[in-house]
Amino acid sequence: MAIKIRLARGGSKKRPHYAIVAADSRMPRDGRFIEKLGTYNPLLPKDDERRVVMNLERIQYWLGEGAQTTDRVSRFLEAAGIVEKKERSNPKKAVPGKAATERAEAKAAKAAEAAEAAAAPAEEETSE
């Protein structure tokens, strides 16, 4: 049985509240879980200590049993100092999309035309 430490969503529409749970990886996100390990409330400010509350002893137990963490939970554990920080690489994140690239090219072309138009009358005045 593959165990995951992940988030289970609760709360109403547009008011999320998550439980950090140890669950069988085959179970649905909000379905059956083995043990509740903590809570996460994204609506609280980032510096509030109640934003992420974890039972670190039980999390270490489940990690010792071979449980895998999801990306979001592993970030919480990195912030708490339980797990060493992983190297993440998303080189395409900073690359602009197709539409933004086209807009930038059009803007550059328009600026180049304006620069040429401004330079052309100045050349005519000097040649007279």
Q: Kindly tell me if the per-residue pLDDT of 43 is higher than 90.
A: yes
Q: Kindly tell me if the per-residue pLDDT of 121 is higher than 80.
A: no
pLDDT on residue 123: 58
pLDDT on residue 22: 94
pLDDT on residue 55: 92
Which pLDDT band, with edges at 50, 70 and 90, does 41 fall under? very high
Pick the CATH number of 3-80 from 3.30.1320.10, 1.10.10.60, 3.20.20.30, 2.60.40.10: 3.30.1320.10
Distant-in-sequence, close-in-space partners of 63: CB < 8 Å, separation ≥ 6 = 5, 69, 82, 83
pLDDT on residue 128: 55
Q: Kindly tell me if the per-residue pLDDT of 1 is higher than 90.
A: no
Residues 111 and 102: their CA atoms lie apart, in Å, by 14
Phi first, then psi, for residue 20 (nearest 5°) are -90, 120
Does residue 4 contact residue 25 with C-beta atoms inside 8 Å? yes
Query: What mean pLDDT is predicted for residues 61-84?
Result: 90
How far is residue 38 from each of residues 53, 55, 78, 108, measured CA to CA in Å? 5, 6, 15, 52
